[in-house]
Structure 1
Amino acid sequence: GVAFLRLYNGRHWLNDVIAGAGVGILSARIGYWMLPLYQRWFKWDSPCSDIMVISYNPAEHSFSINLAYTF
């Protein structure tokens, strides 16, 4: 849908859209191919993990708490 709208609104040419799709597909395939290697390197043996990050934004004087749970 995004590719069609970019073409329709004249923001990209067809060659740009095809090249972008090719890069995306190739990147995903390389990522899946390298996943077992990353699991050995970083010792991702457990199927579940969770992360909590607390951050401060000095420009707006605000805190945020982010929680990510992967299963």
Structure 2
Amino acid sequence: MKCELAGEREKYNEFISIMREFKNRLQNLTGLVDDVKALLAGHPNLIRGFSEFLPWDYIRAHGPADAEGSGTTSTGV
């Protein structure tokens, strides 16, 4: 993440801030995913990488945090 956003220091700092809010329980998982997708718009590889860390239950219910913004998949994965 840090390397990919090397030229966008403010965006990286915002990502860290979003993650801290989630860790400190100031934001729920859905809010976290929405904020990260908005922040990383234009970086589909980073969004896909972020999706790998989402809990399976969230992915089953909402789909991965895909770059297209639909949040769902046709296979339910």
* TM-score where L is the length of structure 2: 0.29
Q: Which has the larger radius of gyration?
A: 1
* TM-score where L is the length of structure 1: 0.31
Higher fraction of strand: 1
